[in-house]
Amino acid sequence: MKSCRADTPARPFPVRICPALQMLGMLLCSLFFASAVLAQTLEVEFAQGPFDEPRVRAAAFSVADWQQLSGQYGQAVRYVMVRYGDDEVWHEQTPQAPDRARALMAEAGYMDGFPTPAIIFHDQSTARLAVLIRRALSTIGVEASTQLVAPQDRAAAIAATQYNFGRERIEIPYIFLTTSRRTPPIERLNPVADLIAGRPLVRFNPDTRMLLVQVPVQNIGRGEAPPSTMALNDLSRRLRFANVRVPAIGPRSATQVEVTAPVPEAALGQELLLQAIVDPDERVLELNDQNNLSPTVPFTPPEPRPRPEPKPDLTVEWQRHAFDPQTGVLTVALVVRNSGAGNAKAHAVDIIDQDGARLARSAVPPLSPDSLFEASQTILVAERSLGRTIVLAAIVDSADQVDETNERNNQCRLQRIPIPAPEPEEEVFADLAVRISATSVQNDGRSVDVALEVVNTGARTSPSTSLTLRGDTDSEVIRLFVPSLRPGTSWSSTQTVVSRFRATGGAFELLARVDPDNLIPETNKANNRFVRTVMLPFPYLIWGGVGLAVILVLSMVFPRFRPGPKRPKAQRDSPPSPKTSLDYVPRPDPGFQQIDPDDAGGAVKLEVSLRAVTDAGQQTLIKEDA
């Protein structure tokens, strides 16, 4: 028996969903699509007047959290776009910073607000936000009014903010609020910084009593934090710290800020409560200002240790030196200083050579802190050191009489001093100079008194020598003895020189010469000779006597020319008597006389010759009759 079965298609199993779950899903979907539809962009436009200053615009934007205020009346604002002219800046967060806003207004010169009230234009979507923004602006001194403007009336409303008041142009600052569905490009979003102050690290130096606090500062935001400040506070109010500068910090970056301060003696051993706050003036726009405080760190500086007794610290400085080649003495000037904190008792400073041998020592009186003593020492340089370089040094407190903080700085650095070789002695000579200081002619016209002077102008004593004096070349030479003369001394003498007979007088040359035999070595031989000319007068007396003698002789030789007395007539006829006549006959031998009685005329001739005598004596004319 066969059996058969017919195949029928399988029907789907019906799924039943709970009505409550259906309602919940529909609600979630509606919320998702509603949030996507309702998410908007708030556009804020600043223009004219004080809003032309960037700091004023930043202050007005920092006065409120625009996204939070929009959410108070149920309007979801995803982005906030700030427009000024053609510039647009997009923000994802708009944190409120009222202190920063007030500081920016003061920097821009609007601490007391604007000179004219501002206008906040808005549409229907931003009507409630405009009221909240007006209240927020009043906290920084900016008075504003709100005005509803339809989109088609925007241009007319903005034009009404500009008008002329006489010759002055008035521009009313305004803010225009509206919403849109615009979304910014990713590169146009303005990220915000977020600064965090870490746990302070405290270090203390007990010697200098300086406190060093290191605070890590981190920027966990997506925007760069501009330069700011950090304040370190002591909650126990025992120390005060100055604010320090914090450099710019990039996104997801960190830096470390150091603060130093002296700890007073009263705070030693007392607990300090240290806490740091970054950006205390709220100059940096941040996502969260609540994390700017660091944890509080307690720290107790150790109590002061007993201070040791202050000690001196002696040093020596080589100031200068000078060598005298004449005496072979080296003079050294030293300065000893006490640079320590204690008093130094009396000690000594020595000059040593490169072998450590002491060459000179000077006593140093007690020195107070930061005082000095100038010492001068002389050293006789040995002959073997002449022409060589000697090495010297100065050392203070070589006997370790003074307890110092540092015993290794008591010696100055080595001094290399070149000592010049002695110069060869220059030979010294005498130098005799002769001169005729004065002359005087006597009454006879031939004798001249001569004043002689010899001076030793050299640097050496001259030996005794001689001096010659003569008149003309053929006259007698006078030789005089000149004694030994020291440098700068002189010898003088007066002599009389007689000139030979000069018929007409005239120039008479005198020649004086010292050391005529050239026996003394001198630096200058040119001044051993001196010439002086003397003018002798015309011999009127001699020539007058000669002329008178000639006249007398002629009158005796020629008596016939003289008129005689008349004789009587009786005598005229008597024979003539013999007559005697005198004739002047020059003879070669002076003083020769001859009478010739054999004259043809019966006359007797008498020959007379005259000669000049050296000394003019009395002359007697002898008359002889025949």
pLDDT band at 191 (very low <50, low <70, confident <90, very high): confident
Pairing of strands 40-47, 272-278: unpaired
Regarding whether 157 and 59 lie in a shared domain, the answer is yes
Structural domain includes residue 329? yes
Regarding whether 385 and 321 lie in a shared domain, the answer is yes
545 or 33, greater pLDDT? 545
pLDDT band at 393 (very low <50, low <70, confident <90, very high): very high
d(CA 336, CA 373): 5
Regarding whether 283 and 326 lie in a shared domain, the answer is no
Query: Which of these, 132, 126, 174, lies nearest to 151 by C-alpha position?
Result: 126
d(CA 497, CA 470): 7
Give, in order, the Cα–Cα distances in Å from 550 to each of 156, 543, 554, 595, 611: 160, 11, 6, 20, 11
Question: Residue 472: which residues within 8 A CB-CB, separation 6 or more?
Answer: 499, 500, 508, 509
State the pTM of this model: 0.35
d(CA 593, CA 598): 16
| Cβ atoms of 189 and 92 closer than 8 Å | yes
Q: Where are the beta strands (DSSP E) in 92-227?
A: 118-122, 144-148, 162-165, 168-171, 174-180, 189-190, 195-197, 201-205, 210-219
Instruction: Kindly report the CATH number assigned to the domain that includes residue 411.
Output: 2.60.40.10
Kindly report the CA angle at 202 between 197 and 208, in degrees rounded to 5?
140
Structural domain includes residue 10? no
Regarding whether 155 and 273 lie in a shared domain, the answer is no
Instruction: Kindly report the CATH number assigned to the domain that includes residue 85.
Output: 3.10.105.10
Q: 274, 299, 324: which is the final residue of a domain?
A: 299
d(CA 276, CA 264): 20
Q: Could you tell me the residue range of the domain that residue 482 belongs to?
A: 432-538
Regarding whether 504 and 556 lie in a shared domain, the answer is no
Q: 418, 446, 462: which is the final residue of a domain?
A: 418
Q: How high is the pLDDT of residue 211?
A: 93
Residue pLDDT, tens place only, 579-611: 444 444 444 444 444 445 554 444 444 444 444
Residue pLDDT, tens place only, 457-474: 888 898 999 988 887 766
Structural domain includes residue 304? no
Regarding whether 235 and 185 lie in a shared domain, the answer is no
| Residue with the two structure tokens 């920092």 | 62
Residue pLDDT, tens place only, 55-70: 999 999 988 888 888 8
Structural domain includes residue 570? no
**Dihedral (C-alpha) 265, 266, 268, 274: value to the nearest 10 degrees?**
-120
Identity at 436, one-letter amino acid code: I
Regarding whether 151 and 54 lie in a shared domain, the answer is yes
Regarding whether 127 and 70 lie in a shared domain, the answer is yes
Regarding whether 185 and 41 lie in a shared domain, the answer is yes
d(CA 126, CA 42): 9
d(CA 475, CA 481): 20
Give, in order, the Cα–Cα distances in Å from 531 to each of 128, 387, 451, 470: 135, 51, 13, 10
Question: Residue 318: which residues within 8 A CB-CB, separation 6 or more?
Answer: 332, 334, 393, 394, 412, 413, 415
Q: How high is the pLDDT of residue 263?
A: 92
Regarding whether 442 and 347 lie in a shared domain, the answer is no
Regarding whether 320 and 290 lie in a shared domain, the answer is no
Residues 555-579 have a mean pLDDT of 58
Q: Where are the beta strands (DSSP E) in 405-505?
A: 415-418, 432-441, 447-456, 465-470, 477-482, 490-498
Residue pLDDT, tens place only, 299-316: 999 987 777 789 999 999
Q: How high is the pLDDT of residue 475?
A: 67
Residues 559-582 have a mean pLDDT of 53
591 or 81, greater pLDDT? 81
In percent, how much of the chain has pLDDT > 70? 79
The count of structural domains within the chain is 5
State the CB neighbour count (10 A cutoff) for residue 82: 21
d(CA 106, CA 554): 147
Regarding whether 348 and 482 lie in a shared domain, the answer is no
Structural domain includes residue 23? no
Task: Find the radius of gyration of the CA atoms of the chain.
Answer: 69
d(CA 610, CA 619): 11
As a whole number, the mean pLDDT across the chain is 80
Q: 265, 299, 333: which is the final residue of a domain?
A: 299
Structural domain includes residue 452? yes
Structural domain includes residue 450? yes
Structural domain includes residue 569? no
Distance spanning both ends of the chain, measured CA to CA: 256
